[in-house]
Structure 1
Amino acid sequence: MDFDSYLALPRPSSLALSPDGSRLIAAIGQYDDETGKMISALWELDPSGTAEPQRLTRSAGGESQPAFHADGSLYFVSTRDDDKSAVWRLPASGEAEQVCVADGFRIGGSTVVVTTSMLPGAKDAADDAAQRKDRKTSGVLHTSSPARVWDQELGPDETRLQLANGRDLTPTPGNALVQAEYVVAPDGRTVIAKWFVPRLDWPLAQLVAIDTATGDRRVLAEDPAAGFYDPAISPDSRYVVAARWEDPQPDTAPVLGLVLVDLETSDLREVVNGRELWPTDTTSPAFAADSSALYVVAEDHGDRPIVRVDLATGAQTRLTGAGSYQAIQVAPDGTALFALHHDMDSPHTPVRIDLATGDVVRLMSSEVELPGRVERVEATAPDGATVPGWLLLPNSDEPAPLVLRVHGGPSASAGGWNWRWNPWWLVAAGYAVLLPDPALSTGYGMECMERGWQGWGTTVYDDVIALTDVVEQRADIDATRTAAIGGSFGGYMVNWIAGHTDRFRCLISHAGIWHLGGFQGTADYSGYFARQFGTPEARPERYADRSPAQYLENISTPILVTHGGRDERVPTGQGNHLFADLQRRGVESAYLSFPDEGHMILKPANARFWNQTMIDWLNRHLR
């Protein structure tokens, strides 16, 4: 599987199940040769898995975010007219019709709530258009932090929640609904949303309920030491579940758990504690059809299984085996779940999970011819901890050169299929790829998080080197030809590796932190990072000791630096600074910049060039 065959793979991203359970819709992205873009379309899948999938939509702008109305019609988002994002309705029979201009939507029963971007003070869409026409400046005056999120400038636009008929539920939100996370109760009477409240360093994330009849808002959950995210609501419209993320502290790793709120009594209780079961932060939990239990996707040793949590007893039952799951849909009769499944060696595919037998049925073909095989590996770190990982090996009889790739996060796992930076590209080019889950990785208990919390660079470095040492002893690995690569936190680790060993022939650092002090003051989440790492004023020794730039004089290994020019998570200045320092020191280096990309290289043509440039760099130094 080279890059072109990888690019041609279908990419299911979301599922929607009709109220009666008879129809299942998937949004599936595919590469379009004519436009050079990934375009999403809606496909109808047979819930039983017997009939072939049927494509429902086809347009240049694509369709996404499918959801069913109580009347059985299918709603979705598309940019079919004038390049404006809009909500569309496709009845069971007939043609699609535009409902309203909006960025996104959620449905509860027969109530449709949409997200729109409007200027402060705008009364409606017409008033907003008039204000934009009269606006002569691009300036944005910020009065609270953050000013940016990822590659998005906050303001002057406000994200609002409105009914599909245009009635505004949140006329003066400010930045409260940035990256809107909300659901609509099945009875249509209430919207549950994450609501940001400004603080000096980082906003407080409340959980609020908004009455769809009056717009009245009440706080369901608020904690000065934690934030609430990713809400879901029960089929009987009584209970809300949400993720509760503790705020980080310099000496204490935060715990992620789930809380349950009773909308009738306002009682709040913890139903999942991250010290026992770590819920993934990429998929919201789903309620059982009778509202008696939750289906939670959890992190577990590189897998992301579905776990049933009984709300009365707290009992936890793992329902799935190997691999990772996301986008859960629950059959209304309670007999089955529908989800997307993926693993290190298989891309995302829709499946049906029989809750009585545990049988998993694929609902569409996802066969891919891989250029190698994958094995689980492990090592023992200097402190005695077990360091797990995966080794991907090419189809070759000769010992393969080894590429160590450190994952980002850092609270994440290398497990599962990765669309952003797929390791099989490198395997197709003849490289073995080592993917460790070092300290700070999720799915291995709080001990793994805690042993790495103050071990940026140090503990994580010991872990990845220990696993590399073990793998290099294998007969199918050429230990004389090795490289290390990584992005985001993985890029930070590559920069750290550069100053602490010359064992690798070359390195590749993508969007990596180079100067910790400079990063803390310029990143989009600088206030949050200061809570995690301490401020430079309070912890000057930590910023100095753990900054890769501190060890510039030790670096001799050739480094390829890559960065997106619109990156605000790890600002592009970090890549610029690293490259300038390497050039000044006379270290062999190159800098690949993408002015139109953010933290991730997403545009297909850019991703292809990025991939080929990295392979060329590896070939130059390892072949």
Structure 2
Amino acid sequence: MKKIALFIFIAMTIISCTQKEPGQVAKNYVPETPKLSSDVMTPEVLWSFGRLGGATVSPDGTQVLYTVSYYNIEENKSYRDIYTIPVAGGEAKNLTNTASNEYNVVWRPDGKKIGYLSSASGSVQLWEMNPDGSDRQKVSEIEGGIFGFQYAPDMSKICYLQTVKLDNDIHDLFPDLPKANARLETDIMYRHWDTWHDYTYNHIFIADYSDGKVGAGTDIMSGERFDSPMKPFGGTEQIVWSPDSKTLAYVCKKKVGKEYAISTNSDIYMYDVASGKTSNFTEGMMGYDQNPVYSPDGKYLAWESMERDGYESDKNRLFVADLETGEKKDYSAGFDQNAAALSWSADSKSIYFISDIHATDEIYQLVLADNSITRLTDGVHNYQSAVPVGNQLLAQKVSMSQPAELYLVDPTTGKDKALTTVNKGILDQLTMGKVEKRWMETTDGKQMAVWVIYPPHFDPNKKYPALLYNQGGPQGTVSQFWSYRWNFQMMAANDYIIVAPNRRGLPGFGQEWNEQISKDYGGQNIKDLLTAIDEMAKEPFVDETKLGAVGASYGGYSVMYLAGNHEKRFKAFIAHDGIFNFEHMYTTTEEMWFVNFDYGGAYWEKDNAAAQRSYSFSPHKYVQNWDTPILIVQGEKDYRVPPEQGMAAFNAAVLRGVPAQMLYLPEENHWVLQPQNGILWQRVFFNWLDKWLK
């Protein structure tokens, strides 16, 4: 019977591997460029931009593969298509244009096919097509579907990602109670970011592959109650094949429950394909170790590494290991900045990476031979990636005035030229506000970079209300990012002056500046924020009687703290997913390493002076001073800053008799991801500000 079942399975697999993607009547949503009635940003225009996905270069170096997503506001959903464009420049070509979204899009190592994931057949499977988009075929039939894959360089195998159920749920424990709806917990980390633990784990499988045929997969983490890639944000960047296809390196934090919740100690593991054995390559390295990248010649492995366990915002170091000698070296030891998005040169002699410097993200090059690091670019922008293509770099770039596009960068001069123009049709119709960097002296005599964004048709003879933008993180960058929620051009388009300071606790100004905020939430960084708005309020074009403060996450905390400590400066507040009560936050958030490091410990540690000082900064201790209108925004699925924080703040304001509103979003997490919710958010945001500041 087992042999018959196996035969049927193999036969069905052969049939499914040659199944063509069915023709679809419904096409993808690729809208015509809208004709705008005004040259200033609106929420609807903001959600009309095409969103560029990750780009890869063809093996022969002539084509770039990428995705673009568009949101259909009426349907409240997104559509993603696959595109190619010649490296030499020219017209972009849409290869798919189907009603199914495609993702995890890569070139097959021989360049003859493009591999991607699609749910066109019902479950998410691996599909392939020719580089011109023709002959789309499904090449896997993996029960339950997959959510990621990579080809081995020699194309003899693929690895793919799948969730595996290993824990018992309530119905496994009590099968005679099929309608019971409950959980039975014995440890923490039962929910993370925006989902409750579903008793499954992300595992890596390896399967034989031969020109469009995928064999049976082997779980290389069989029985392990760990995740690779790591939740909630890890993807295929945490998994990489060695150039000889003999080893698979992957990132994992092999801890569970409380130990997982208090630790950031992830490691890079090496799986030997021939023997099936796994070894911990970064054993003894105690912080985050992730995103490994092999050199093209296979002699080196580079990766991003943090030193301290439990500190998620530690310096992101650039480590390189000599795989022949086993030596591991921190090549950024004398470089007081972070290193991310590592990419090897073709000759394996240097590494390109991205680093935040003084509120912009720039491209750098490390030359291994002399351990030299050189900055290659300079401008008012953020580069998000840079990979070699011939004698150039293919880079993704954004700014406060433009969503992501692909550029070709000359590493010698640092100059770039646009390769894609996904949003040119809309951008050409808009007038963006001036973006200006100012340096201001803080209360302790240091220099702080502050971005000022002016309304599109700024008139220096008028007086404008001004908004103090409070960044989240707390170690999130206030660089030249483009956001679909906290969009500075969107705010400026509503005739506000935006003041966005790089206060204490932000990267790009050295580790000391970045780390100062921990255990000092109500201290120097709050003074930095007030310095920024006070300095701008002196300008003749700013109405000092109409100042607002807005922010999310740690920025939401900052707003709530300022609400009780602002000395009548502000006339309106907006706090999104902010921390209101530190004690409650400590025992309800999921990633305990964050509150342990930033607060300094638990609130019951009465002899812990640092922790007790931190808890003295809790906004709920200053509610008696609240007297200014406040809008609270809260996502129900936010388990980082749990929803009761926003409810408590709103209730306290109402009980105090303070004008207040609460925008509660039952289907959103720490962010706002759905189109109609995103537009609603913008409308409520500006309705509230206009009511009190105009």
Say yes or no: TM over 0.5: yes
Preserved contact between residue 205 and residue 222 of structure 1 (Cα < 8 Å):
no
**Alignment-derived partner of residue 62 in structure 1:** 101
Q: Is the 8 A contact 1:145 1:202 kept in 2?
A: no
Look up the match of 1:159.
202
Q: Call closer, same or farther: CA 1:135–1:99 in 2, change over 3 Å.
A: farther
- Of 376, 396, 405, the match for 2:458: 396
Q: Which has the higher strand share?
A: 1
Partner of 2:431: 370
Question: Do the aligned partners of 1:378 and 1:467 also contact (CA within 8 Å) in 2?
Answer: no
Q: Residues 121 and 586 of structure 1: is their aligned pair in 2 closer, same or farther, counting only changes over 3 Å?
A: closer
SS at match of 1:246: coil
Which amino acid in the other structure matches residue 470 of structure 2? V
Larger Rg: 2
Give the SS at the match of 2:516. Answer: helix
Q: 2:653 aligns with which of 570, 582, 585?
A: 582
Q: CA deviation at 1:142?
A: 5.4
Query: What secondary structure, in the 3-state scheme, does the structure 2 residue paired with 1:167 have?
Result: strand
8 Å CA contact retained: 2:521, 2:614 = no
Assess if the C-alpha contact under 8 Å between 1:48 and 1:352 holds in 2.
no
Q: TM-score if structure 1 supplies the norm length?
A: 0.92
Deviation at 1:215, TM superposition (A): 3.2
- 8 Å contact 1:508–1:560 — kept in the other structure? yes
Aligned to 1:361: 417
Answer yes or no: is the 8 Å Cα contact 1:298–1:307 preserved in 2: yes
Across the two proteins, how many residue pairs are aligned to each other?
607
Q: Displacement of 1:90 after TM fit?
A: 1.6
Which of 338, 346, 370 is the equivalent residue of 2:394? 338
Q: Deviations over 1:85-118 (max 9, x none)?
A: 3322122363222233311123341242111112
Match of 2:35 in 1: none
Distance 1:590 1:34, change over 3 A: closer
Partner AA of 1:114 in structure 2: Y
Which runs of 5 or more residues in structure 1 are unaligned? 123-129
The residue aligned with 1:534 is: 600
Q: CA deviation at 1:52?
A: 1.4
Is the 1:249–1:532 contact (alpha carbons within 8 Å) kept by the matching residues of 2? Answer: no
Quote the residue 2:92 is aligned against.
Answer: 53
Structure 1, residues 182-206: CA drift from partner, whole Å, max 9, x if none?
2222332222111112263524311
Return the letter of the residue paired with 2:353. V
What is the one-letter code of the residue matched to 2:222? P
- Does the CA-based 8 Å contact 2:315-2:337 persist in structure 1? no
Task: Give the conservation status (yes or no) of the 8 Å contact 1:118–1:159.
Answer: yes
Q: Check whether the contact 1:113–1:163 (CA below 8 A) recurs between aligned residues.
A: yes
1:113 aligns with 2:159: yes
Q: Which residue of 1 aligns with 2:190?
A: 147
Query: RMSD of the alignment, in Å?
Result: 2.5
CA 329–141 in structure 1, closer or farther in 2 if over 3 Å, else same: farther
Q: Measure, in 1, the Cα distance between the counterparts of 2:644 and 2:87.
A: 49
Taking the aligned partners of 2:289 and 2:197, their CA distance within structure 1 comes to 21
Letter matched to residue 652 of structure 2: D
**For 1:371-450, what aligned pairs fall within 5 Å after superposition?**
371-394=432-455, 395-397=457-459, 398-416=462-480, 417-450=482-515
Q: Is the 8 A contact 1:194 1:205 kept in 2?
A: yes
8 Å Cα contact 1:487-1:509 kept in structure 2: yes
Moved over 4 A (4+): 133-145
Query: Residue deviations 1:240-280, cap 9 Å, x none?
Result: 22211233679x98332121123333321111238523224
Who is 1:517 aligned against?
A: 583
- What is the percentage of aligned positions where both structures have the same residue? 25
Q: Deviations over 1:578-597 (max 9, x none)?
A: 11211222221111111101
Please give the secondary structure, in 1, of the residue aligned with 2:524.
Answer: helix
- Please state whether the residue corresponding to 2:80 is helix, strand or coil: strand
**How far 1:6 sits from its partner (Å)?**
1.4
Residues 553-592 of structure 1: pairs in structure 2 closer than 5 A: 553-592=624-663
Q: CA deviation at 1:532?
A: 3.4
1:69-80 → structure 2 map (5 Å cutoff): 69-72=108-111, 73-80=113-120
Partner of 1:212: 273
Match of 1:595 in 2: 666
Once the two structures are superposed, the pairs formed by residues 244-259 of structure 1 within 5 Å of their partners are 244-247=305-308, 254-259=314-319
User: In structure 2, how many angstroms separate the alpha carbons of the residues matched to 1:384 and 1:489?
Assistant: 24
SS at match of 2:514: helix
2:37 is matched with which residue? none
- Equivalent residues of 1:256, 1:273 under 8 A apart: no
CA distance in 2, matches of 1:21, 1:601: 37
Letter aligned with residue 451 of structure 2:
W
Aligned pair partner of 1:300 in 348, 357, 361: 357
**Residue deviations 1:520-560 (CA, integer Å, cap 9, x gap):** 11112124421332222334522431211111111111110
CA-CA distance at 1:144 after TM superposition: 5.2
Which amino acid is 2:276 matched to?
G
Separation in structure 1 between the aligned mates of residue 46 and residue 176 of structure 2, nearest angstrom = 46
Deviation (angstroms), 1:329:
2.6
What is the aligned counterpart of 1:104 among 127, 148, 169?
Answer: 148
Deviations 1:109-150 (A, max 9, x none): 12421111121289xxxxxxx99x999576566565433321
Question: Which of these residues, 370, 375, 378, is aligned with residue 318 of structure 1?
Answer: 375
Aligned to 2:693: 622
Q: What residue number does 1:546 align with?
A: 617
Unpaired segments of 5 or more residues in structure 2? 1-40, 208-214
CA distance in 2: counterparts of 1:249 and 1:362, whole angstroms: 40
The TM-score with structure 2 as length reference comes to 0.83
Measure the CA separation in 2 of the matches of 1:534 and 1:451: 13
Work out which of the residue numbers 70, 86, 91 in structure 2 matches 1:30.
70
1:91 matched to 2:151: no
Q: 1:152–1:434: structure 2 CA closer, same or farther, 3 Å change rule?
A: same
- 1:188 lines up with 2:250 in the alignment: no
Counterparts of 2:183 and 2:278 in 1: how far apart (Å)?
A: 27
Q: C-alpha distance in 2, partners of 1:71/1:360?
A: 29
Per-residue Cα deviation, 1:418-470 (whole angstroms, up to 9, x for no partner): 23421222211111111111000100112312333332122111001101111
Could you say what secondary structure the match of 1:5 adopts?
Answer: helix
Provide the C-alpha distance between the structure 2 equivalents of 1:601 and 1:487, rounded to a whole number of angstroms: 11
